[in-house]
Structure 1
C-alpha cells in the first residue's frame, strides 16, 4: 500500500493535513489515481484544492466516530462541484462492535439520502486486518466503470496542486489533467504569471510517458520556470486556447443550512481548480439570495484565470468561516451591464450579445467550435440580416458609381459578396448591370488635351475626382490634377532634356520646353522626383533610376 501522509506532523498526529497522493491497480486491471484530502475543518482549504478536478469520490466515514459535521460539509462541497459518482468506505469496523457498525451504516444511509451518494455502495473495512479491502476494490472497479471518462477537447489544462524541485530534473508540478492530452515538448504557459515553459518529461504513477490523456494524474517536469515561481492554484495551459478573465458570471446555489441570506457584503473566497482567490461578488437581480435558493452572480477575480463555462467552484465567507455555496461558471467575458445580465451557458446568447464573434474567440469563450457564417465570424442572424439590408440601401443610394470597399467597416466588407444585386469591381461595390459613369469622363479628356497646362476641376463632383484618382486616370499633385498621359509625357520630356544636357536641367528650362508656367511646372517636377524619374541636385534635375530610355 501507499501512505499518502507526507509530513512528519501528519504521521505523528494520525491525521491528514495536506494533500496526499496514491495509485492502485484494480482487479479489472484499471489504474486508479487517488487524492487524499484532509477531513478536519481546519484544513478545509487544502481539501478544496484537491477535489477541484476529480471524477468521483471515495467517501470515508469511521465507524468509531460516525457522521460528523465535516462529513456533511464535505458532501455538500462535492455536490456543489458537480461530483456525481462515489463509493462510501465505512472504516475502522474492527475496533467497533457490531451494533455501532450497524448504527453508523444506518446513519450514513440517512445522511446521503437525496444526494449523489444515495444508493452508493457502503463497504465496511478495517485496514489493519484487511477486512473488506477486496470488497472495496471490487466496488471501486464498479465505480470506475460507471464514471464517464474525461473528454479530450484538444485544450489541456492542469491546475497545479504541488510544485517542487526534483534532483537532476528541476521543476516538477503535479495536478489532474483535463480538457486535452499533454505531450513531451509541448509549449505551454503558467498562469497567471504567463511564464512560458516546455514539457521536458511526463510521469503518471511513477512511470514515464511521452503522452498522457485527460483524466490522468500528472507529474510534469518543466523547462523555463523555477519551482519557487510556481504555487498551488497556478494553472498550466496553451495560452492562445483560453480566455483569461478577471470577471465572470455564474450560477450560485446557496446552502440550505445557512442561517442568513447571501449578499455582496462579506469577505468572500472562491475555490476553483486548485486555487483559493479572494473575490468581490454582486448578485444579479435581487439584493440577496436566501438559504437554499439559486441565483446568478458576477464575480471579480484579483488576477486573470483561464476559465470556461461549466467550471465549478465553491464559495466561502472567511469572516464567518463557513461555506456559502457553489456553482457553475456561465459566461467568462460578460458584455452586459450587471443590471441587465441574464447569464446562461447558451452559445447562441453569447453570439447574440456580441453580434459578430470571431470563430476562434467564440471557442475560447464557450468551449464550443462553430463554423463561421461569414468569413471568420459567427454572426447573429438578426445582425447579419440588418447588416445586409443597410449595405443594400447604401449601394442603392449612391447610384451606379457604387461604394468604396475601403470605406466600409470589416463586417460590411465581409458580407459585400453576399449581396445578390451588387458585385465587387475595382475595389467598389456597384449595382449589377450598372454602367460606369466615369467611362470617357470629359474632365479626363480635357486634361489629356492640355497635359502641361491642365484646367481646374470646376464643376466636377469631388467623389468622381477621388474615384478617378484611385483608378489612376488622374494624378493629383499639390492640388493640381494631371492626366496619366501628362505624367508620361513629362517623363519623356525630362529624358530628352537630359540627353541634351546630361549635367541636368533647371526649372526654367523644363518650363520653357513644356510651354507652361511655374505654377504647373513645379508640381510636375515634384512628382517626377518622388517617383524616381528624376533627382534634384541643387537647382537642377538629373536622371533618376526610373528615367525612361528614349
Structure 2
C-alpha cells in the first residue's frame, strides 16, 4: 500500500455510522477497546488506512461522537488535513454534528466530504430532503461546497462514489501543518515487552527516522528513535502526514504521556502565554458574551490545559460569532508555534466555545498593544512573513539575530536570516560585523551615544585609569541588551574609531589618551630603573618611588602591562627584572646545570652572581617557567 500523504478525520454525531463506514471502506475495525465494541460507540481514537482509486492513500483517524468524548475528538482532529463528516439520513444534523464542524473550522480544516449514512433506512424522498437540510446547514460554514455522498454500509451503496470523492478532495487539499522540523503530538503511550516504550501520533511536520534524537515537550527530556512504524508497517523513516508509531529508548512510560509533543531538539520553546486571533462561537446554544480574563480550557495538539483569555485593547467582552486579538495566559506551558490552531472550551459546563490561531508564541505580557505590536499582529494574521519581519525589526530595542526574529514571528530562522541580509543590503539595518547580529539605525545611534557618554563620565571620575572592562561598561550605559549584543556594538564602535580597545579594556579615544600617555611614560621610567639595576633590581615599592609612579593602582597596572608585553619578568610578588637581565640569569643557570647536572640554590646563587634575596625567587620563577625542576634540595634542567 502507498504511504499516506494526507490524514482524513471522521466527524459527526454519535451513532451516525462513522466507525462502520471506516470499517467498510478500509477493512479495518477502528474500535480498539472491548468496551467500545460492546457498547457500539467509539470512546478513544481509532486508526486505519484507506487506499484510494487513484493509487494514493489516506491515513484515517476515527474520533468519538458522544458529547462526553469531544475532548478526544479535538485531540484526533488536530492532525487532520481533510474531514469526512458523517450524518445519518434517518437522523439529520444533530448537536454533536454542529460542535464537530465548529471544531474542524477552528482548527483550520478547509476540505470536507459529507457521507450521508444509513440511506438504506429511508426512502428516496426523505433522502433528498436530508441532502437539502445538510446543504442548508453547511451553507454558513467553510464547507458550503463539500460533496454530499449517499451511502449505506449494509448494502454497500455509494462506497465507491465516496472513495472517488475523497480522492478528489485529497488531491486539492493542502497539508494543515507545514514546518521543516519534526513535530508530533502524542496520543497514545504504551509498553511492548522486549521493545520498551512506544508512542503514537500524527506526524504534523518534518520527518522522523531510526536513530534520530527527539525532544519531549514541555519536559525537554531527550530520547532516541529505536524503530519506526507507519500504519503497523515497519519503516526506516516517517514523513509528515502519516500516522506514526515510534519505539523510543531512554524513556519510560512515566517520562512521556499523551498530550506531550515530540520535536526536533531545540526547534520549539514551550511558552506560558501566546497572542492569538480568537473567535467566540456558540454552535449549540445561545451564550452570554465571554468576559475578558475568563478561565477557560485550551486544547492544543493532544493536550488540554487551563488558562485565562484576555482580550486586547481593554475590550471587556466578546459576543458570539465575533473575533478579536487576545493573549492567552496558560497555567502550564504548551509547545505552541505561530500559525498553530487551538480550541477553547468553557470551564464549566464544558463545551466548545471558540478557538483560533496562534500569532506570536513568545509575546510580552501585555494586553494593550502599541502601534508596532498591532502591525506585527496584523501581519501575522495575514500570513505576510515579510511584513511581520519588518514590523518585528521596528520593535527591537536592542541588537538582534535571525533567531530572535524567528522567535518573535514564527518565521523559519533561515528565511528570517535571508530577509535580514536583504534589509542590511538596502541600508535599512546595520550588520554588526560578521556575527549575524543586526541593529536598526536609531537603536544603534542611541547605543553608541550611551557608550560615548559612559566612557567620558568614567574618565572624568578616574583620570588615571586607562579604561573599563566591557561588562562594567554595559552596566554603566544602562543599555538593556545581552552581553553578546553589546560586544557586537562595541566591536563596531572600535572599528569606526569611536572606542579604543587595548589589553581587555575599553576607553574613549580622546578622553583616554591622557591616561594611556601617562601609563606609557611611567612604563618607560620603570624600564630605565630596571635596566640600570640589572640583576639586582629594587623591590616593587622602591621601583615605584624611583620611577615617580605616584598612584599605586596605576603603577601595578603598568607593571602588569609590561609583563604582558614581555618587557619585564616578575619573580615572586615583590621583584621584577628587565627582560634582558632575566634572560642572562636564566642562561647562567642553564650553563651551570648543563655542566654539573644538578645544583642547590646556594650553588645556583653563586652561578648567577646574586645574593640569596634574589636567588630564591629567581629559581622559583625558573621552576614555574619549566626551565628547572626540583628534585629534593637540588634543581635539574626540566
TM-score range, shorter chain: 0.7 to 0.9
Q: 2:487 aligns with which of 413, 417, 421?
A: 413
Question: Would you tell me which structure has more helix in proportion to its own residues?
Answer: 2
Once the two structures are TM-superposed, the CA of residue 368 in structure 1 deviates from its matched residue by 1.3
Q: 1:74 to 1:316 in 2, by over 3 A?
A: same
Q: Deviations over 1:430-462 (max 9, x none)?
A: 979x99954983433333333432421514756
Tell me the SS of whatever aligns to 2:412.
coil
Length, aligned pairs only: 538
Residue among 531, 536, 544 paired with 2:625: 531
1:488 correspondence with 2:611: no
- Is 1:18 aligned to 2:19, yes or no? no
Partner secondary structure for residue 241 of structure 1: coil
Shift of 1:245: 2.8
Contact 2:45 / 2:76 at 8 angstroms: preserved in 1?
yes
The counterpart of 1:172, out of the listed 195, 198, 201, is 198
1:193–1:544 CA distance, 2 compared to 1 (3 A): farther
**1:274-325 CA-partner distances (Å, limit 9, x unpaired):** 11223345444426431224121132242x4433211111121232212232
> Of residues 497, 504, 517 in structure 1, which corresponds to 2:600?
504
Please list every run of 5 or more consecutive structure 1 residues that lacks an aligned counterpart in the other structure. Answer: none
TM-score, normalized by length of structure 1?
A: 0.83
Are the aligned partners of 1:184 and 1:200 in contact in 2 as well (CA < 8 Å)?
yes
Give the match for residue 355 of structure 1: 398
Structure 1 CA distance for aligned equivalents of residues 44 and 450 of structure 2: 62
SS in 2 for 1:101: helix
Of the candidates 212, 221, 234, which is equivalent to residue 260 of structure 2?
234
Task: Find out whether 1:271 has 2:299 as its counterpart.
Answer: yes
Q: 1:368 — aligned with what?
A: 412
- The answer for the alignment partner of 2:359 in structure 1 is 330
For the 8 Å contact 1:150–1:214, the answer to whether it is kept is no
Match of 1:543 in 2: 635
Q: Distance in 1 between the 2:228 and 2:528 partners?
A: 76
Is 1:221 aligned to residue 317 of structure 2?
no
Task: State the Cα deviation string for residues 511-548 of structure 1 (Å, max 9, x = none).
Answer: 99447x95x7776566445434556799x7x43655xx
Q: Do 1:252 and 1:297's aligned partners in 2 also have CA atoms closer than 8 Å?
A: no
Question: In 2, distance between residues paired with 1:301 and 1:535?
Answer: 65
Residue equivalent to 2:329: 299
Distance in 1 of aligned mates of 2:451 and 2:202: 51
SS at match of 2:113: strand
> What is the alpha-carbon distance in structure 1 between the residues aligned to residue 257 and residue 152 of structure 2?
36
SS where residue 239 of structure 1 aligns?
coil
Which segment is superposed worse, 336-345 or 243-252? 336-345
Q: Judge which range, 59-68 or 353-362, deviates more.
A: 353-362
1:448–1:486: 8 Å Cα contact kept in structure 2? Answer: yes
Question: For residue 117 of structure 1, what is the aligned residue in structure 2?
Answer: 143
How big is the shift at 1:402?
8.4
Corresponding position: 1:64 with 2:90: yes
Distance 1:448 1:309, change over 3 A: farther
Q: Which moved more, 1:103-112 or 1:434-443?
A: 434-443
- The answer to whether the Cα contact below 8 Å between 1:263 and 1:288 also exists between their aligned partners in 2 is yes
Q: Using the TM superposition, give the Cα deviation of residue 30 of structure 1 relative to its aligned residue in structure 2, in angstroms.
A: 1.2
Residue equivalent to 1:259 = 288
Provide the C-alpha distance between the structure 2 equivalents of 1:429 and 1:191, rounded to a whole number of angstroms: 43
Unaligned runs of 5+ in 2: 1-26, 381-387, 421-430, 474-482
TM-score by length of structure 2 reads: 0.72
Find the partner of 2:120 among 72, 94, 100. 94
Q: 2:440 aligns with which of 378, 381, 395?
A: 381
Cα distance, 1:207 vs structure 2: 2.8
Preserved CA contact (<8 Å) 2:65 2:96: yes
Q: Is the contact between residue 218 and residue 334 of structure 2 (CA under 8 Å) also seen in structure 1? A: yes
Q: In structure 2, do the counterparts of structure 1 residues 446 and 330 end up closer, same or farther at CA, with 3 Å as the change threshold?
A: farther
Question: Closer, same or farther in 2 for the Cα pair 1:59/1:83, shift >3 Å?
Answer: same
- Greater shift in the superposed pair: 34-43 or 450-459: 450-459
Residues 111/262 of structure 1: CA separation in 2 closer, same or farther (3 Å cut) = farther
Q: Secondary structure at the match of 1:307?
A: coil
Give, in angstroms, the shift of residue 481 of structure 1.
Answer: 5.2
Q: 1:396 and 1:258, CA in 2 relative to 1: closer, same or farther beyond 3 A?
A: same
Asked whether the 8 Å contact 2:589–2:608 carries over to 1, the reply is no
Report what 1:478 is aligned to.
573
What is the SS of the residue equivalent to 2:335?
A: strand
Q: Is the 8 A contact 2:399 2:440 kept in 1?
A: no
CA distance in 2, matches of 1:8, 1:487: 91
| Stretch of structure 1 that moved more, 435-444 or 174-183 | 435-444
CA distance in structure 2 between the partners assigned to 1:258 and 1:192 by the alignment = 34
Q: Is 1:444 equivalent to 2:488 in the alignment?
A: no
Give a deviation string over 1:94-140, Cα, whole Å, max 9, x none. Answer: 21233433332222222222421122212222221122222211211
Cα distance change, pair 235–512 in 1 and its aligned pair in 2 (3 A): closer
1:286 equivalenced with 2:310 (yes/no)? no
Q: CA deviation at 1:185?
A: 1.8
Q: Distance in 1 between matches of 2:94 and 2:177?
A: 35
Q: Deviations over 1:381-437 (max 9, x none)?
A: 2444544565678899989x88877977433433555455349787678979x9995
Q: Which residue of 1 aligns with 2:343?
A: 314
Deviation at 1:501, TM superposition (A): 11
The Cα offsets for residues 343-362 of structure 1, whole Å up to 9 and x where unpaired, read as 73434555544734454565
Q: Structure 1 132/480 Cα, relative in aligned 2: closer, same or farther at 3 Å?
A: same
- CA-to-aligned-CA distance 1:482-505 (integer Å, 9 cap, x gap): 443344345346557877995422
Shift of 1:62: 1.5
Further displaced range: 381-390 or 136-145: 381-390
